[in-house]
Structure 1
Amino acid sequence: MIIRTGWQRTRCLVLGLALTLPVQAEEPDAMAAAQAEYEAANIAAMQAAVAGPTDITINDQAHLQLPEGMAFIPKQQTQRLLQAIDGQGDSAVEGTIIPQSEDENWMLLVSYEKTGFIRDDDAKEWDPDGMLDSLKEGTEAANEERRQRGIPELEVLGWAEVPAYDSAQHQLRWSASARQKGSVDSNYTINYKTLALGREGYIGMNLITDMENVDRLKPLASQLINGIAYNDGKHYSDFSEETDQVAEYGLAALVAGVAAKKLGFFALAAAFFAKFAKVIFIAVAAGGATLGKLFRRK
Structure 2
Amino acid sequence: MKHTIILIFFLTFIFSFGQENENQPALDETELIELYQEKMDSIEKTFSYQHGKIDIDNGMATLEIPEGYKYLEPHQANRVLTEIWGNPPSETLGLLLPENTSPVSDNFTYAIEITYEEEGYIADDDATDIDYDELLTQMQKDVEDANPERIKEGYESFKLIGWASEPYYDQMNKKLHWAKEFKFGESETNTLNYNIRILGRKGVLNLNVIGDMSVLPQVKNDIDSFLNSVDFNEGYRYTDFNPDMDKIAAYGIGGLIAGKVLAKTGALAVLLKFWKVIAIALAGGFAVLRKRFTGNKTS
- Aligned partners of 2:127 and 2:169 also within 8 Å: yes
Read off the aligned partner of 1:10 and give its amino acid letter. H
Gaps of 5+ in 1: 1-5, 17-36, 280-298
Identity of aligned residues (%): 27
Q: Which residue of 1 aligns with 2:270?
A: 274
Confirm whether residue 124 of structure 1 aligns to residue 128 of structure 2. yes
What is the number of residues matched between the two proteins? 240
CA apart distance, 1:202: 1.0
Q: 1:67 to 1:203 in 2, by over 3 A?
A: same
Partner of 1:115: 119
TM-score by length of structure 2 reads 0.72
Cα deviation, 1:36-81, whole Å, max 9, x if unaligned, reads x998765432xx211x3x1011113111111332111111211222
- Which residue does 1:198 correspond to in 2? 200
Query: How far apart, in 2, do the equivalents of 1:192 and 1:72 lie?
Result: 18
Match of 2:192, as an amino acid?
Answer: I
Letter in 2 for 1:126: I
The yes-or-no answer on 1:70 pairing with 2:69 is yes
For residues 82-108 of structure 1, give each alpha carbon's deviation from its aligned partner in whole angstroms, at most 9, with x where no partner exists.
Answer: 3314485211x1111111225672211
1:10 to 3, 6, 22: 3
Structure with higher Rg: it is 2
**Aligned twin of 1:29:** none
The question of 1:138 aligning with 2:109 is answered no
1:168 alignment partner in structure 2? 172
Residue 53 of structure 2 is aligned with which of 34, 55, 71?
55
Structure 2: distance between partners of 1:131 and 1:257 = 11
Q: Structure 1 residues 193, 202: CA separation in 2 closer, same or farther (over 3 Å shift)?
A: same
User: Cα offset for 1:226?
Assistant: 1.3
User: What is the SS of the residue equivalent to 1:212?
Assistant: helix
1:115·1:201 contact (CA, 8 Å) conserved in 2? Answer: yes
Structure-2 residue corresponding to 1:208: 210
Counterpart residue identity of residue 55, structure 1? K
Using a 3 Å threshold, how does the CA distance of structure 1 residues 127 and 277 change in structure 2: closer, same or farther?
A: same
CA distance in 2, matches of 1:181, 1:131: 23
3-state DSSP of counterpart to 1:272: helix
157 and 83 in structure 1: CA distance in 2 versus 1, 3 angstrom threshold: closer
Aligned to 2:97: 98
The one-letter code matched in structure 2 to 1:117 is: Y
Contact map agreement 1:71 1:100 (CA 8 A) in 2:
yes
Equivalent position to 2:191, from 185, 189, 192: 189
Structure 2: give runs of 5+ residues left out of the alignment. Answer: 10-38, 102-106, 276-299
Q: Any idea what SS the aligned residue of 1:193 has?
A: strand
Q: CA deviation at 1:135?
A: 0.9
Q: C-alpha distance in 2, partners of 1:181/1:74?
A: 30
1:107, 1:208 within 8 Å by CA — same for their partners in 2? Answer: yes
Superposed CA RMSD:
2.9
**1:135–1:255 CA contact under 8 A, matched in 2:** no
Write the deviation string for residues 3-32 of structure 1: whole angstroms up to 9, x where unpaired. Answer: xxx8xx639849x9xxxxxxxxxxxxxxxx
SS at match of 2:162: strand
Report the AA paired with residue 210 of structure 1: D
Query: TM-score when scaled to structure 1?
Result: 0.72
1:231 alignment counterpart: 233
Give the Cα separation in 2 of the matches to 1:107 and 1:278.
18
Q: Tell me how far apart the structure 1 counterparts of residues 152 and 108 of structure 2 sit (CA, whole Å).
A: 36
- By how many angstroms is 1:243 displaced? 0.3
Q: Do the aligned partners of 2:197 and 2:206 also contact (CA within 8 Å) in 1?
A: yes
State the 1:118 CA deviation. Answer: 1.2
Contact 1:74–1:95 at 8 Å: present in 2 too?
yes
8 Å CA contact 2:176–2:198 kept in 1: the answer is: yes
